[in-house]
């Protein structure tokens, strides 16, 4: 696991090499849990069995760890600042070869109230998907594989329309987990 030290004790970020370990949802819950928090929201992204109508057997995630951690940290810090001094955020993403059903990303956000927890968690996962340097190679049952373009590279009208309408994209993703 590659963690980046952060001076703010309200933020934890990690890249987990699947060859060395797995993402830990309980660790995320433990980190954001606090007696001051009435709301904890968790996003868990898993590898799907299909993508764009094709059956998948797995995904390989690659990333520039240090830069990805910088994006995770900056995104978490912005959300924590926006949702108050008691808010806490945990961000972890897997890298390496994952099978269908494996956990790819875990985001947890704790705050005194549920609305802030929901909003903070959503903000962080959307930023991770759109900004982090994460590359996804999908592996299909027919033996072929393809690299996903991801949202950090897209600028299509659909993505822009989603932003203009104030909605998240249906399939954002440098990390379509």
The CATH number that applies at residue 106 is: 3.90.1170.40
**Has residue 113 been placed in a domain?**
yes
Q: Coil, strand or helix: which one is 131?
A: helix
What 8-state DSSP symbol labels residue 23? -
Which residues, other chains included, contact 97 with Cβ-Cβ below 8 Å and sequence gap of 6+? Answer: 18, 58, 59, 60
Per-residue pLDDT of the chain (177 residues; tens, 9 = 90+): 555 555 899 999 999 999 999 999 999 999 999 998 999 999 999 999 998 899 999 999 999 999 999 999 999 999 999 998 999 999 999 999 999 999 999 999 999 999 999 999 999 999 999 999 999 999 999 999 999 866 544 444 334 333 433 333 333 333 333
**Has residue 103 been placed in a domain?**
yes
Report how many domains make up the chain: 1
**Has residue 97 been placed in a domain?**
yes
């Amino acid at each position: 696991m590659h963690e980046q030290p952060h001076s703010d004790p309200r933020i934890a970020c990690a890249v987990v090499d699947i060859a060395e370990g797995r993402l830990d949802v309980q660790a995320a819950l433990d980190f954001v849990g606090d007696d001051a928090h009435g709301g904890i929201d968790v996003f868990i992204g898993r590898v799907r069995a299909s993508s764009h109508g094709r059956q998948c057997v797995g995904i390989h995630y690659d990333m520039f760890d240090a830069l990805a951690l910088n994006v995770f940290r900056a995104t978490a810090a912005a959300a924590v600042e926006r949702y108050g001094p008691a808010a806490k955020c945990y961000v972890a993403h897997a890298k390496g070869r994952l099978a269908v059903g494996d956990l790819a990303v875990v985001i947890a956000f704790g705050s005194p109230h549920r609305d802030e927890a929901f909003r903070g968690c959503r903000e962080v996962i959307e930023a991770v998907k759109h900004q982090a340097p994460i590359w996804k190679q999908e592996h299909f049952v027919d033996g072929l594989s393809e690299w996903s373009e991801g949202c950090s590279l897209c600028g299509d009208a659909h993505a822009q329309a989603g932003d203009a309408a104030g909605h998240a994209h249906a399939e954002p993703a440098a990390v379509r987990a």
